């Protein structure tokens, strides 16, 4: 019996979406998975794919569908790429069994990579990583006989990302013909589906909920951005108020000093002067505010 046969009970297809930065090897990985019989093509005017592409091939008795997506953080196409990536779920109808997040084995988990994972989760929902697996590319670049497990353990941030994906990862080398690397990936996907997700896949309802949550997040962020200037203005006004009152209090204390016959220890004179100074400062601020409002109204007319 072919080792790829009966990947899922009662289902003869597995659908996957490839996600990652530019140049990480998404298209070549798609070609490796599909045995290059229907290769993904690149835009002739670019080194990266600009649109989602779907290809399907039968491996053994299993139909395998792979959706390649535009590279994230392409400086010229960032916004367009994110919008296009959303289309991958529709193209992969009724929905992908797994999101393969591609990283080069030598990649450091930078702020940009962490941001990429956050964007993936915001785009497809907070449970995306339950349907995700890390696919390391350029596996031959592991040096000194180091295993992928040792590589993961050597980078705490990378280890945390793998943990978020429930320890689901695989290594590819698209530059060499390595027998068994594709069947091993399919077996891991089978294990993920049966043990973690009860055989389910990421469907359109999940995506709709993710879109609603994303729009709410954007609206809240915009609301906070709109409120920020007002908060800063109020903070500045408070600082001016404190300054005027303190100055008025200082003037009042001096007046109190003289009212007390020039004695620093005369508490009554100082207290009276300080209180009067504070009131004077507040009154000054009140006058300044109202004069400013009057001038603004005159300008408006």
In a domain, residue 190? The reply is yes
**Among all chains, which residue has been given the structure tokens 């193209």?**
91
Q: Are 195 and 91 within one domain?
A: yes
269-281 per-residue burial string, b: 16 or more CB within 10 A, e: under 16: bbebbbebbbebb
* Whole-prediction pTM: 0.69
As given in the structure block, the two tokens for residue 80 are 């367009």
Is the per-residue pLDDT at 80 higher than 80? no
In the three-class reduction of DSSP (H, G, I as helix; E, B as strand; rest coil), residue 149 is classed as helix
Q: Are 34 and 101 within one domain?
A: yes
- Whichever domain contains 156, its CATH number is 3.40.50.300
Mean per-residue pLDDT, 190-197: 82
Percent of the chain surpassing pLDDT 70? 66
Q: Are 18 and 146 within one domain?
A: yes
In a domain, residue 7? The reply is no
The last residue of one of the domains, among 156, 172, 202, is 202
Q: Are 183 and 276 within one domain?
A: no
Q: Where are the alpha helices (DSSP H) in 125-166?
A: 148-153, 156-164
Query: In which band, very low, low, confident or very high, does the pLDDT at 65 lie, cut at 50, 70 and 90?
Result: very high
Q: Are 31 and 174 within one domain?
A: yes
In a domain, residue 256? The reply is yes
Nearest Cα to 97, choosing from 23, 202, 182, 250? 202
Do residues 155 and 109 touch, judged by C-beta distance below 8 A? yes
As given in the structure block, the two tokens for residue 4 are 């790829």
Q: Are 123 and 172 within one domain?
A: yes
Mean per-residue pLDDT, 13-24: 92
Q: Are 18 and 102 within one domain?
A: yes
As a whole number of angstroms, the distance between CA 294 and CA 14 comes to 71
The residues that bridge with 245 in the sheet, in sequence order, are: none
Q: Are 76 and 139 within one domain?
A: yes
For the stretch 90-137, pLDDT in tens is: 999 899 999 999 999 988 888 888 888 998 998 999 889 999 999 999
Q: Are 136 and 268 within one domain?
A: no
The residues that bridge with 136 in the sheet, in sequence order, are: 103, 171
As a whole number of angstroms, the distance between CA 15 and CA 143 comes to 32
Residue with the bigger pLDDT between 85 and 239: it is 85
Distances (CA, A) of 52 to 26, 174, 292: 11, 20, 57
For the stretch 224-272, pLDDT in tens is: 777 766 556 566 666 655 665 555 555 454 455 455 555 544 455 445 4
| pLDDT on residue 42 | 55
Percent of the chain surpassing pLDDT 90? 31
In a domain, residue 208? The reply is no
In a domain, residue 260? The reply is yes
Angle at which helix 156-164 crosses helix 111-124, to 10 degrees, equals 10
- Alpha carbon of residue 259 to chain centroid: 65
Is the per-residue pLDDT at 84 higher than 90? no
As a whole number of angstroms, the distance between CA 5 and CA 12 comes to 8
The residues, any chain, with a CB within 8 Å of residue 172's CB and separated by 6 or more, are 25, 29, 32, 135, 136, 137, 139, 181, 185
Which residue range forms the structural domain that includes residue 289?
Answer: 224-300
In a domain, residue 216? The reply is no
As a whole number of angstroms, the distance between CA 112 and CA 74 comes to 12
In a domain, residue 8? The reply is no
Nearest Cα to 201, choosing from 64, 93, 53? 93
Query: In which band, very low, low, confident or very high, does the pLDDT at 11 lie, cut at 50, 70 and 90?
Result: low
Q: Are 269 and 171 within one domain?
A: no
Q: Are 94 and 197 within one domain?
A: yes
Largest separation between any pair of C-alpha atoms in the chain: 109
Mean per-residue pLDDT, 168-178: 87
Domain count of the fold of the chain: 2
Q: Are 159 and 41 within one domain?
A: yes
In a domain, residue 210? The reply is no
For the stretch 34-53, pLDDT in tens is: 987 667 765 544 445 578 99
Exposed/middle/buried for residue 268 (C-beta within 10 Å: 0-12, 13-18, 19+) = exposed
């Amino acid at each position: 019996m072919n080792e790829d046969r009966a990947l899922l009970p009662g289902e003869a297809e597995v659908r996957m979406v490839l996600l990652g930065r530019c140049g990480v090897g998404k298209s070549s990985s798609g070609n490796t998975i599909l045995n290059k019989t229907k290769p993904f093509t690149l835009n002739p005017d670019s080194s990266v794919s600009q649109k989602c592409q779907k290809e399907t091939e039968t491996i053994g008795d299993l139909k395998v569908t792979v959706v390649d997506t535009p590279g994230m953080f392409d400086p010229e196409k960032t916004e367009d790429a994110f919008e296009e990536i959303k289309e991958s779920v529709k193209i992969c109808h009724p929905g992908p069994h797994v999101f393969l997040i591609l990283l080069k084995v030598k990649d450091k988990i930078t702020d940009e990579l962490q941001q990429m994972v956050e964007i993936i989760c915001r785009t497809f929902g907070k449970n995306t990583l339950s349907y995700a697996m890390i696919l390391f590319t350029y596996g031959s670049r592991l040096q000194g006989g180091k295993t992928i497990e040792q590589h993961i353990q050597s980078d705490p941030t990378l280890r945390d990302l793998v943990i978020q994906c429930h320890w689901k990862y695989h290594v590819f080398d698209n530059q060499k013909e390595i027998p068994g690397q594709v069947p091993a990936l399919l077996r891991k996907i089978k294990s993920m589906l049966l043990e973690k997700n009860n055989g389910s896949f990421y469907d359109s309802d999940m995506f709709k909920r993710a879109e609603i949550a994303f729009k709410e997040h954007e609206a809240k962020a915009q609301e906070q951005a709109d409120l920020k200037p007002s908060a800063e203005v109020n903070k500045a006004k408070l600082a001016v108020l404190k300054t005027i009152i303190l100055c008025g209090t200082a003037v009042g204390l001096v007046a109190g000093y003289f009212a007390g016959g020039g004695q620093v220890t005369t508490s009554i004179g100082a207290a009276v002067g300080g209180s009067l100074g504070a009131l004077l400062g507040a009154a000054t601020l009140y006058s300044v505010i109202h004069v400013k409002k009057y001038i603004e109204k005159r300008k408006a007319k």
